[in-house]
Every structure is written in C-alpha cells, then in structure tokens.
Amino acid sequence: MKNSPYAETYARSISDKAGFWHEQAQRIAWHRAPKTALTPQSDGTATWFPDGELNMSYLCLDWHVQQGRGQQTALIYDSPVTGQVLHYSYAELLEEVGVMAGVFQQNGLQAGDTVIIYMPMIPQAVMAMLACARLGAIHSVVFGGFAPHELAIRINDAKPKMVVSASYGIEVSTKIDYKPLLDAALKEAAHQPERVFIWQRQGAPAVLQAGRDYDLALAMRNAQPAAAVVVPSDHPLYILYTSGTTGKPKGIVRDTGGYAVALHYSMEAVYNMRPGEVFWAASDVGWVVGHSYIVYAPLLFGCTTLLYEGKPVKTPDAAAFWRVIEQHQVKVLFTAPTAIRAIKKEDPAGELLHKHDLSSLRCLYLAGERCDPNTLEWSAEKLQRPVVDHWWQTESGWPMVANPMGIEALTVKPGSASVPVPGYEIQILSEEGRPLIAGQEGLVAVKLPLPPGCLPTLWQDAERFRESYLSTFPGYYMTGDGGFMDEENYVYIMGRVDDVINVSGHRLSTGEMEGLLAEHPLVAESAVIGIADALRGQVPIALVVVKDGGEVDPVALEIELIALIREKIGAVAVFKAALLVKRLPKTRSGKILRKTMRMIADGLHYTVPSTIDDPAILTEIHDALAARKIGQAFLPHHIVS
C-alpha cells in the first residue's frame, strides 16, 4: 500500500491533524466557520473547531432545500409489519421537523435541555431527534427493546425535561405497547419530566395521563415551525447510553461540530456515497448506527436514507432485505453480521436472493460485532459485490477501521476489519503499555487526540470518562477490545477484554446481569459469561451458586432468574440459561475466572491458571455445561492443556 491513495491520505491525517480536518470542515455549511481546527487539552484529548457555530438540523434539512434539493426524497419509511411505504422529500421532512420543534419550543424546551426519546422505528422517531437538534436540546434515544428498569436508569441520569414516545411498536407480528412500559419506568424513576408526548399509532391509541401526557400529532396541528438555533461546535448533540463494566450505563456525549465533519467525511471516504443516492443502515435508531447512519450522516451528505421497520427474516421471509434493495434502488446496505447469518440460516443456497434484481447495490458493509470469515465469504459469493467488514464503537460514533472504498478499494482479508480510517492512529499494546509488533495480540488502543466525532466526555461524569478510557496508559484511548495488526497494518479485532458482551451487535454488561441475579433471595453469587453463538455472536449464560440451607428446585429457579433478567433488561439480552453449580472457579485472591469458563463453554483449549484455588472446579464447570449441551463444551475435541 506504500504511496497508494489510502496510504498518502492516512499519513497526512496523522502528521497534520489540524490541516487535514480543517479542510474537511470547509465542506459543511457553518453559521460561523471555525478558524481553529483543534485546541489540545491537558489530558491529551482535543476540542475540535472550538470557534465554530452551526446547527445539525439546519445542515441536514434547510441547507439542502436552499440548494434546490427540496423535492429530492430525504427519507423512505418501509414497514413490512404494517404494510406501509412512505416517502418524505427534504422539503416535507423540514416542514414536519420544524413543526415538531415548534411544539417542543412552545412547551418550554430550550437549548441545553435534555429529552428522552423512546420510540419504535417510525418516521416520528427521526423527526424527534432532528427537532431536538433544531432547538439545541440534547436528545437521548433509548432502544425500544429495553425494559422499564433500564429506561428508568437512563431517565434518572439524563434528567429529561421531556419524554417523547409512541403508543406501540411491532416485533415481527407482535404488538408491544410502549406506554405501559414508559409508565412503569416513570413510576420507578426518581426524576420526573415536565411533559410526555405520545405519537398515537393507528389502531391502538395509548391512554394518556391528564396533566402530563400529550398527543403529539394533535399538538403539531396547532404549532408554528421553529427556526434552527445556532449552537457552538462543542455543544452536545446527544447522549447515548452504552453498557459499562460497573453495570451503570455510560452516557456517551456527542458534540455537534466535530461529529458533523466526521460523518460528512465518512460518507464519501468510507462508504463511497454520492448525494442523491439511497443509503440503508438496517439498524435501529436506539443504537449508534441508527444515530450516525440512519439519521445524521445520510442527511448531512444529501442522500436518501431508509428507515426499515422489520427484520431480515420473518417479515415476511429471508428475502426481506433483497426486496427492499430492489424496490428502493439501494446503493449501500449496512447491517450486522447477525442479520446475514439469520438470512443464511433460512436460505443457505441464496435461492430467494436470486429472485430479486440487486443491480443497484454497490457494496455491503458489516459491523456491530466481529464478522466471521464464513459469513463474509457467503455474502460476497451470493451478492457478487464487495463486502466490507468494518469496526467502530458507540464511543467513536463513526468507523475506526474500514476498507476506505471512497479513497481506494483495498484487498479484503476475511477476519480483518481492514485498515485504520484516516484520523485514527491505532496501536496494539501489551498489558504493560508497550507497542507490539505485527502478529502479536494485545490491547487495541488509539493514540490521542482522537479525531473529530468521537466522544469528548461522559454525561456529567468527566472523571469516569478519564478512568474508563484514558487512565490505563497516558496518551492513549483504550477501546476495551483485544486484537492484532499484520504486516500491512490490517487490524484484527478479537473481542472485548472486559465484562461487556456483544449480543447481535448490542453491548450488554454481564456485571449488571450479575447484580440483578444477586437480588434473588436464593442466589449467593453468580458469574455471567458470554459464549459464542452462531447467529448472535454471543449470548449470556449464568453459573449460579445458591445460598446454604433448604431445598432448591433448579428448574424453577432457572425459570425465575430468566424472568428476572427479561423483566429488568429485556428480551434483547437473550438470557435463556442459568446453571446451578456448587462453586465458582476463582484465583487465590478471589477473582472469578470468567475468561477460563468462557473458553470451556466455547470448546477451546485452555491452560489451568496457576493462581486458581482449586483446579477441580473447572472440571465441575465443564461437566455442568456439557450436561446441558451448552456452547461447545460437550464436543469430544474439548481438551484441557
């Protein structure tokens, strides 16, 4: 790659960070263009474009209308679960967002206030996000699959002035009433919002609480549109909560200016898009992919974005994605490997795929979890298109490692997420902080400062931000993932090194699950580990030690523990197994050997740690897993070395 377009671009992005990003900043429409690219901070981080002023909603909507693109389709809503397909032009979306922002403004919402958005995949979810951004209010979208307890935690932390929700969502063919979930969360939460706005979906209106709840559609009929409020570049655009190792979610803060510049750059450099083309991120607005690549990036860049309320299978079948691509002339599809594995499981020969005209599709991007080579190779073979595995995090907000298709299409290496994206100085470090050579596995770190768009802090918890990401090795951001780089700087991400697991691209804390299990009166202690799953990447299982005394029905207890996790976290955890064991393997200092248990469950060779207090416990754990045929522990090739 020496002297290649990518190599030259990347080298400049590292050697001249200020110059490189100042050029990119000139490509968006600031209200006050920044003269300074970055201001270094004492901890090694940087504030990007500190003297710039802008508004994200204006960039996504008003500017395109002013440039004569008002009649171009901005948003396509495709809902196989309701049978609806709607198109909104840039002018129409601007009108809807402006009026919704007017409702919020007339009810007291101001720049700097926070709003919780708890909605399914409907156009009004996108509008609510853009309406908040229009006023300089800080939105925090909570995934609709989360249970009331998780929603209550986020309400208490964000302290929203308003909550915006909907009467119900649809999961395949099951209607899920959101309002009772929201009511339960507000009953549990210490903080109470001043207003709750509900979008009443057709057919099943929610019951509203007088004096607190308001019909959003009705309020919009009598509202005047609000103008875009100009904010400083470092003004928070949103808070997005992600699981932390303590069990308490971390509120990732996203600034406005740096994020806008980074997303705009990524649409061309990484995704090779052109204004006017259709970009589809098959995710949910509750996750970072939804924020960045359903809502903000495509609209910033002048593309048509696709909001899909459905699944890759069962809505109605494994051809769902291919039907959408053909019908809407999608140029780029971005989804999680889990979705492709689900399609492959139901249509392994790709027979349904070949019934659709996919000539519009230029490339498939996969992210959210590690993509196994089989999934990547199956996709490439069936689609006959480039398939790009790329890697990033909620914290980064945009890709960190990718094949930069808009700069140069590089050779694909299955198992690798490709190369560092310009701006990210990625290094592999030993546990002592020493840079490792090619092929050596270690901790994936990014040399500070991070490029624009990455988190500047955690919501009202700067100390936790420093402790979580900057304290391990001075001058580096720690990603929490392990991996290695090869001789050509291709990055291989091998998985988390903390107790956060990745279930279908959703980061969940095993520590939080253990804390919830401890609430059961019969549980003395537990260890929750993520084991490999062919469809979802990882799923959690619990190994549980019960308190002394009394008879315990293991089946009944397992049912109760599964119900507990489902109630408190939600079905998104896919928690379906809680095994009773006599004891947990620990070091002599009392540390539970979660990694060793995970290797046992996954059928991997492992070494008995020299610090273990009793090696026989590992055999007991193996036998308990094997008896239930959980993971790969029961296979004959499982050998302890």
524 in any annotated domain:
yes
For residue range 618-640, what is the model confidence (pLDDT) as tens digits?
888 888 888 888 877 554 434 44
38 in any annotated domain:
no
Strand partners, 250: 242
Domain range for 548? 500-627
**What is the dihedral angle through the alpha carbons of 238, 244, 247, 250, rounded to the nearest 10 degrees?**
-20
What is the predicted pLDDT for the residue at 495? 72
525 in any annotated domain:
yes
What is the predicted pLDDT for the residue at 641? 40
343 in any annotated domain:
no
Secondary structure letter of residue 146 according to DSSP: S
For residue range 40-56, what is the model confidence (pLDDT) as tens digits?
999 999 999 999 999 99
23 in any annotated domain:
no
Residue 233: exposure state from Cβ atoms within 10 A (0-12, 13-18, ≥19): buried
For residue range 595-613, what is the model confidence (pLDDT) as tens digits?
888 888 888 888 777 667 7
Domain count, the chain: 1
Residue 111 has pLDDT above 90, yes or no: yes
* Lowest-confidence region among 131-140, 586-595, 623-632: 586-595
Strand partners, 491: 485
Percent of the chain with pLDDT over 70: 96
For residue range 325-384, what is the model confidence (pLDDT) as tens digits?
999 999 999 998 888 988 998 999 999 999 999 999 999 999 987 787 888 999 999 999
Please report, for the domain that includes residue 568, its CATH number: 3.30.300.30
580 in any annotated domain:
yes
Residue 246 has pLDDT above 60, yes or no: no
Structure tokens at 457: 């802090």
What is the predicted pLDDT for the residue at 247? 60
Model pTM score: 0.85
Judge whether 28 and 264 are in contact, CB under 8 Å: yes
pLDDT mean across residues, the chain = 92
What is the predicted pLDDT for the residue at 640? 43
What is the predicted pLDDT for the residue at 551? 78
397 in any annotated domain:
no
What is the predicted pLDDT for the residue at 409? 96
For residue range 430-449, what is the model confidence (pLDDT) as tens digits?
989 999 999 998 899 999 99
145 vs 81: which has the higher pLDDT: 81
What is the predicted pLDDT for the residue at 638? 42
Q: Which of 381, 384, 279 is nearest to 335 (CA)?
A: 279
489 in any annotated domain:
no
Pairing label, strands 195-199, 162-166: parallel
Residue 499 has pLDDT above 70, yes or no: no
